Chain A
Amino acid sequence: MSTDLINLNAPAIDVRGLVKTYGDNEVLKGIDLSVHPGEVVCVIGPSGSGKSTLLRSVNLLERPTGGEVLIEGIDITDPDVDIDRVRTRIGMVFQSFNLFPHMSVLGNLTIAQRQVKKRGKAESEKVAKAMLERVGMAHKADAYPAQLSGGQQQRVAIARALCMNPDMMLFDEPTSALDPELVGEVLQVMRTLADEGMTMMVVTHEMGFAREVGSRLIFMDGGHILEEGDPREVLANPQHQRTKDFLARVL
């Protein structure tokens, strides 16, 4: 099957002419975007700009109306693709964490390893504990999500995604639902991941993170990419009026 042939020279994520329509509403009006291995691409923009839709199209949580999405050279919009298999290469972190409440932290981290990657109990627990160490949550392995704070839950969610050893991570406004004092611990984990070379695509409002950690900044508005470039450049010298307006409101 074509999923087995990874083209290592291809970009990690390659979006070509992506269009997404809901009924009469065209949310994405033709997006072209490439993310290369090791890049940290931050996507910013006003609500309704389509940035979440773009991110969710990358792992096919939204099915494109037109255009293509290629992951490591494989066109995931092809109906014959084994999307479950492709998704094991992409880790996703959600705004509302989406931890499984009926399982412990350890359970959350091992369920997909055991069911999808077919790892045994001992091996998946070893990987889980290692990932929990990375995010600083090893001491809570037996706790249940309801017992954790928002920041703790999100860090566990990141660890859960990492347990599948993905080649890239998608973050959909990972700190927007957190109380301000908890945002820092999550951003710290994300920064560490970036420093270790993880390919990341992050939809966020945290401009500080974009400036310091991002390798590329993309500004979206009305279903288009209006501006993209070095984060420091774009944030300091926005070219488009709409970019200027948005940054003026946010910064």
Chain B
Amino acid sequence: MERRSKIAYGLALVAAATLALAGCSGGGTPDAGATTAAGNDYGLVEAGTLTVCSDIPYPPFEFEGGDNGTGYTGFDIDMLGAVAKKLDLKLSVQDVGFDALQSGTTLQSGTCDVGASAMTITEDRKKNLDFSDPYYDSLQSLLVKTDSGIKDINGLSGKNVGVQQGTTGENYAKEHAKGANLVQYPSDGELWPAMQAGQIDAILQDQPVNFEHEKADKSYKIVETYKTNESYGFAFAKGQKDALLKAVNGALKDLKDSGESKKIYDTYFTAK
């Protein structure tokens, strides 16, 4: 072959390959979702199923166990299980990291339809997430060693206070625990051992989680609870799940009116 035709041959190869592969790129966006067999277009990740993302475990909101077939249970899971039933959908649960979930990344990437992870509705989060109507009013509390002599948040001055990274509890402590040394941990899985190991003198986090610890170990007790005017909501990828969001809100209202959500609440938050 002469040189000129060799170059032409090579260029033709390049052009052909590029066009061929570019033509395949049409399906890049994750939002070309499936429609359900019933014909409604919630834009579900998996047809006929409500796929939930949650940072597990975080008892009593989400943890392993139960018998709903997903392998997980807890207040959040049970609530969405009831919602899914109302919408005639199956329930599936995915364990994901809290950071990526609450920043919107996980939901944007199309891993799941809705995030349920004891997530507080905040203005910052609303930038990247749409929230359902509130389904739980957030309460924080202070857990200390019973014989530590700490009676309230002011007694934390100069002491190590454990908080969970990126939570309402952390923000509350930053604002109100004057003089305290905040020590941040990834989750309650480290907060609780840290308390037992004497690394920290108190834990400021969601009341239900502290409550579990107080129940389990009498040498620790909750000395104060804090109303935060904040609530938990279920999270959706911003602007992409309007139909589903509306349907979920409708289901939540039904559950409230029928008293079913109060029944689920009592299962987890009322002292037995």
A and B touch in the complex (CB under 8 A): no
Q: State the B residues within 8 Å of A (CB).
A: none
Q: State the A residues within 8 Å of B (CB).
A: none
